[in-house]
Structure 1
Amino acid sequence: MAPVILYPAIDLKEGQCVRLKLGDMAQATVFNDDPAAQAAAFEAQGFSYLHVVDLDGAFAGKPMNAAAVDSILARVKMPVQLGGGIRDIATVEAWLAKGIARVIIGTAAVRDPAFVREAANRFPGQVAVGIDARNGFVAVEGWAESSELSATDLGKRFEDAGVAAIIYTDILRDGILAGLNIEGTLALAHAVAIPVIASGGLASIADVKRLLQPDCAVLDGAITGRALYDGRLDPTEALALIAAGRG
């Protein structure tokens, strides 16, 4: 069984660390105005991999929180995966050159699949696809627009592209602590050979225990945001549980 990785999330909006509700930029709660300090706190708690999203970049189609990301990279040693506004090879190259371990391509995966293939080919192991779905269908442009493409169909497009991982987010659960959509995430994981990371709704230690059940062994891990910031998920307890491998 592959080790479950719990990825703490830092979502960046106007240089601050925020969490959204249901992907709505108008429903943003600021949790820390110093993203680098937040990243350092996560590292000190024992997390081994950080998930960062440039929310403004996702809407603008280009990096918008570069200074905040730079400050995070300067502050922590753990690998960082980054999504939001990554729409061309130059942007991929720039982030990887700065020290980002893995870039996440979302909207462009729908609009320009050839770009994903090129990026994955040029940077093996360093390109992930972000599939953000509402009722099973992919949303793009910072979740503002829905497409007619199913999450599974999009995932299958990149089956042979060399993509390192798929981050699957259920938008209708994101930021509301409703629990992970295990059923939908497992359906995608079984449909593709690419490692899948669950995102959206992780609410408590019960979700972590669920991820450690045998049927979830196919998953790479999960992203947690609001539950950590709200104190509903104790990082020490969660990481100890994962280390012990108990269900």
Structure 2
Amino acid sequence: MTKRQKIWDVVFPLVFIWLCMAAVTVVLLLVTGLIVGEYDPEKIYDRVRTLPMWISIAAFGLTLLLQKNNYRVDSMRFPMRDGGWKAWQMVCGCLCVTFAGHVWSSLITGSGLERVFTGYTQNAAPAFENQNLLLLILGTVILGPAAEEMIFRGMLFRRAAYYAGMRKGILLSAFCFGIYHGNVIQFLYAFLLGFLLAFVYERSGDLRAAVAAHMSVNAWAVFGDRLIRKTFHGSVPVSCLAAEAAACVTCFLLLYFRGKQKNA
């Protein structure tokens, strides 16, 4: 296989989920426009607030359906070591990624970068506001993590690690995961999560561990952060973030050194 073929083999999963999302968006915008008698996308989104969730649900479902066979083939082409994770390691993986995501998100928000790079606050964030709870859970907490882990860790990361080595594979998959989210703020957030999710997958050898961690961090982002801010009157206490950071580092080190001992 030539270098160009290897590069295409690695980036194809990213291209596929992008195209899938674009195709579903166009189709549902057209169908919704015909139903409501409106053809301006912004006005359609204003009139049908749940449309972004329906687009996500349809795109993720279609991705899972169309790529499941390729994922199975990749499982044989690029075998992963079996980390044989126990229940406590699965819990540590979920806590590590969840707390890291919340602390990192809070730091990004507090840094003022959202006022400089406004793509997220103007376009992405409003899509999750005032959404139907069941659709939000289905699209963001269930189908999204399952589809994205299959694409970015189960396929893209495995291919990149096989061709370029484990470290480069983790970094490349994290970079592509960030690019996939489409704006600077989400890139910064998703890059760190992509790195940790690839770490969880590499250590466990089980995509279910990465899916569980991804579901956990998304559920916390949607519900946990709101609960904390409501409890503390709109802000997240520094002590809370410090406790989460300490728990995250502890879980990461436990998984890291446990993996090294097993390898030795």
TM bin (shorter chain)? under 0.3
Give the greater-gyration-radius structure (CA): 2
TM (normalized to structure 1)?
Answer: 0.23
Structure number with the higher strand fraction is 1
Structure number with the higher helix fraction is 2
Task: Work out which structure has the larger RCO, using CA pairs closer than 8 Å and 6 or more positions apart in sequence.
Answer: 2
